[in-house]
Amino acid sequence: MDFALTEEQRMLQQSIEGFLETNCPLDAVRIAASSGTTRVTEIMSGLSELGVPGIIIPEEYGGVELGFLEAALISEALGAVAAPVPFVATSVMAPLAILKGGNDAQKEKYLPQLASGDMSMGVGVTEQIGRRDSEGIQADGNKLSGRAMFVLDGMDADAYVVANTHGALYIVETPNVSKTPLKTIDKTRAVVELEFDGTEAELLPGSADNKEILLNIIDCGRVMLAADTLGASQTMLDKALAYVQERRQFNRVIGSFQAVKHMCAEMTAELEPCRSFVWYSAHALRAIPDESRLMACHAKSHLAEVGRFVSRKATECHGGMGFTDLLGLHYWFKRIGFNRQLLGSPELIREEAARIQGWI
Amino acid sequence: MDLAFSQEYETFRTQVREFLKTHGDSSPPPFARGKTDEDGKLWQQLLIENGYAARTIPKNYGGYGAKPDILKSHIIAEEFAKAGVRTGHSGDNRLVPTVLELGTEEQKQWLIPPTVRGEMTWCQGYSEPGSGSDLASLTTKAVVDGDDFVINGQKIWTSGAQYADMIFCLVRTEPDAPKHQGISYLIFSMDTPGIDVRPLVTMTGEATFNEVFFTDVRVPKHQIIGRRGEGWFVANNTLKHEREGLGDPNQAENRFREIVTLMQNETVDGTRLIDNPAYRDRLLRLQGQMLSMKFNGMRVLTSQIKNEEAGIPRWIIKLNGCELNHQMASMAIDAMGEVGVLYEEGSHLRDDGRWQQRFMMDLGLIIGGGTAQIQKNMISERALGLPKEPKYEKVSN
């Protein structure tokens, strides 16, 4: 019984955090956001050297083949600096889909490029989670028609993994598809709308009659978004703690007022158990199959709630400054808000958790 | 990350389960109030013999004498909770560890064996009418007269004082010292002349607490744990043991399961409560909170096994755990609606009316053992390092 990170996991965490601290300061986020870049080349290449894009890809395909807990630690670190780089779709969901559903040729074609970071993939599965009327992809042989919305990591992607209405997964290469960027609150991530009109695509054959693969990549994506929210929330709390010990009013630092202190204590009390939740749900993805889907649902929805609370209170701790663009706190605020809705908003996910438990 | 238990612990868990299967049905009902009854003493005896109570207390003081093993203690607590069987009371879980750590050999021999057997029961004399959250300002005083301390003053919120044989009590012995350094930790019989116990009825309708008045109560000078003036340090040792009990994740998980069962069985207008989406969403939010505290508990447990400081995950247990219990009780009551206000007795009561009782009791626990606001002060000052409130007053004697 050892519910803690291993020495290796802590070292991985430290090396990623160390790299991002130097290479992804707020200024870099600001520049990327104002120029509409969601795949900053310098950051991407550094992360590639650290093995990030190949985190779950087996060594035979050039990856480092670590687990989902390691992937979650990376996601947390990226959230902590609001990194303008793709990760959840391109480095976790897409490779997992190919590993589980792809044939040998597809694995050999895509996985090494994904692992090296030379290629980036978007993932479009939102029609499986609270589908809008305008969405839905039909497959006719290897031709796709219809529309995918909120395709994650979609802006600079070289190819896409998309689900059709039956839950089978296809790879579509970018030149074949019509892509429209979706402007969201979060300028550090890219989601796009894809339109298919008899578009050439390649089925991942293992997913043809097995919706489980689709559900599995959604589970993993949810845990990664929960981890991202954990990192972003912790940063907001840390910034609030630093600010309230520096800002003076009435001849005292404001952090000596109970009203302020109690906000900090409440954020801490809410957020700290979330770290354990992310660890457990990430660990469960592979190690505890009976619980993994339920835990992914709960981690995602619980982190969404705590993230909303922390992002709001941490902003309040900064007073008027928290509301300004100058301080940049809003990048994390918006990232947390984005994570909350993507791959299922909390209410929808909790309904899913009820169904998983056979309550309805 | 390795959630498996080694063979040694799996075997141990099996033993605990077998014990519970064999003896669980003969256990007296849990949470028996007041003085330990004869059944309770026999049960305690059986648990000690098997190592499920007073486990780490040395044999010569009446315990089982196992060497401390946090994981085994955890397994015992978990399995007893799952089976809904009354646990051993390990004597008094606040006093015994304190005496073991800080008492003299004579005091250990005198106090621990009968306490462990359930023949000597205790109450805690800390809070006073004017000293609640600011406990160190307490004014009950003890002055030396010959071989005795002579105590005058008043305590309040004294749980179980009407049944207890003994009291461990904080009194001011050094009126001129700074407030934290003028307190001593005395132990004495509740039969000592000059003690007047008046039960304090709470909102639940029961008298769990008391006011205790001391008028010229004479206590021999050697009935002190630690030295004169060190009582604050001794008491903090006790409080540490108490706070961990408030917010037990096993208990929260059990209560959560009870609510699920209630909502699956209870119908309104022909619809099960769990089929009502508004109630269901509340239930699932609580499940998320409950799970987060369960995993947080696993993290704290791991730190304890490794003998590391658990830090923030431990500081927040009392605050979050008590709040969660209260929220769960309020959820159960709201789901029941009108039926939820039934109380005490009647043929329509659900779950013996215990949700209303818990709803009120859990509010009491949010306040007791260090209010939620004091918990937030401690988290922000001690765990996060925010500055203390400026101090204005000096202690008045």
Summarize pLDDT for A154-176 with one digit per residue, the tens: 999 999 999 999 999 999 998 88
CB-based contact (8 Å) between A312 and chain B? Answer: no
pLDDT at residue B35 in the model:
53
CB–CB contact A276 B295 (8 Å): yes
At residue B145, what are phi and psi to the nearest 5 degrees? Answer: -140, 105
CB-based contact (8 Å) between A253 and chain B? Answer: yes
* A243: closest chain B residue by CA: B386
For residue A15, give the 3-state DSSP assignment. helix
CB–CB contact A2 B288 (8 Å): no
Quick one: tokens of A92?
Answer: 């976790």
At residue A37, what are phi and psi to the nearest 5 degrees? Answer: -95, 125
Mutate to test the interface with B, among A9, A310, A350 (most CBs of B within 10 A): A350
Helix (H) or strand (E) holding B22: helix B7-23
Per-residue pLDDT of chain A (360 residues; tens, 9 = 90+): 899 999 999 999 999 999 999 999 999 999 999 999 989 999 999 999 999 999 999 999 999 999 999 999 999 999 999 999 999 999 999 999 999 999 999 999 999 999 999 999 999 998 788 788 888 999 999 999 999 999 999 999 999 999 999 999 999 998 889 999 999 999 999 999 999 999 999 999 999 999 999 999 999 999 999 999 999 999 999 999 999 999 999 999 999 999 999 999 999 999 999 999 999 999 999 999 999 999 999 999 999 999 999 999 999 999 999 999 999 999 999 999 999 999 999 999 999 999 999 999
Quick one: tokens of B196?
Answer: 């007047």
Quick one: tokens of B279?
Answer: 């109630």
Contact indicator for B204, B149 with CB cutoff of 8 Å? no
Query: Of these residues, B78, B230, B242, B244, which one is catalytic?
Result: B242
Which B residues, 22 through 81, put their C-beta within 8 Å of a C-beta on chain A? 71
Give the separation between CA B287 and CA B293, rounded to whole angstroms. Answer: 10
CB–CB contact B285 A350 (8 Å): yes
Contacts of A5 in chain B (CB under 8 A): 1
Contacts of B383 in chain A (CB under 8 A): 268
Q: How many residues does chain A have?
A: 360
CB–CB contact A261 B390 (8 Å): no
CB-based contact (8 Å) between A15 and chain B? Answer: no
Ordered domains of chain A (ranges, CATH): 7-116 (1.10.540.10), 121-207 (2.40.110.10), 212-356 (1.20.140.10)
* Cα of B147 vs its chain's centroid, Å: 34
Alpha helices in B89-230 (DSSP H): 95-102, 105-117
What CATH class does B122-231 carry? mainly beta
Query: What distance in Å separates residue B304's CA from the closest CA in chain A?
Result: 11
CB–CB contact B298 A276 (8 Å): yes
Quick one: tokens of B153?
Answer: 């003053």
Minimal Cβ distance to A266: which of B281, B292, B376: B376
pLDDT at residue B139 in the model:
97
Report the interhelical angle of B231-245 vs B95-102 (nearest 10°): 140
In this structure, which topology does domain B246-383 adopt according to CATH? Butyryl-CoA Dehydrogenase, subunit A; domain 3 (1.20.140)
CB–CB contact B5 A276 (8 Å): no
Per-residue pLDDT of chain B (397 residues; tens, 9 = 90+): 999 999 999 999 999 999 999 998 888 875 455 555 678 888 889 999 999 999 989 999 999 999 988 899 889 988 998 888 888 776 677 889 899 999 999 999 999 999 998 889 999 999 999 998 899 999 999 999 999 999 999 999 999 999 999 999 999 999 999 999 999 999 999 999 999 999 999 999 988 899 999 999 999 999 999 999 999 999 987 666 555 555 677 889 999 999 999 999 999 999 999 999 999 999 999 999 999 999 999 999 999 889 899 999 999 999 999 999 999 999 999 999 999 999 989 999 998 889 999 999 999 999 988 899 999 999 999 999 999 977 766 555 4
The strand pairing partners of A151, in sequence order, are A192
pLDDT at residue B33 in the model:
54
Torsion of CA B255, B256, B258, B263, to 10 degrees: 150
Looking at residue A85, its amino acid is V
For chain A, how many helices (H) and strands (E)? 11, 10
Contact indicator for A48, A35 with CB cutoff of 8 Å? no
Angle at A96 between CA A90 and CA A98, to 5 degrees: 90
Minimal Cβ distance to B5: which of A1, A9, A276: A1
For residue B170, give the 3-state DSSP assignment. strand
CB-based contact (8 Å) between A249 and chain B? Answer: no
Give the separation between CA B361 and CA B246, rounded to whole angstroms. Answer: 12
**Would you call B38 a catalytic residue per the annotation?**
no
Query: What distance in Å separates residue A326's CA from the closest CA in chain B?
Result: 25
Which B residues, 318 through 357, put their C-beta within 8 Å of a C-beta on chain A? 319-320
pLDDT at residue A234 in the model:
98
pLDDT at residue B29 in the model:
73
Q: What letter would DSSP give residue B2?
A: B
pLDDT at residue A128 in the model:
83
pLDDT at residue B369 in the model:
81
Domain borders along chain B are: 7-90, 122-231, 246-383
For residue A83, give the 3-state DSSP assignment. coil
Q: What letter would DSSP give residue B310?
A: -
pLDDT at residue B34 in the model:
53
The ipTM, to two decimals, is 0.97
The pTM of this model reads: 0.93
Quick one: tokens of A170?
Answer: 């296809």
Contact indicator for B64, B51 with CB cutoff of 8 Å? yes
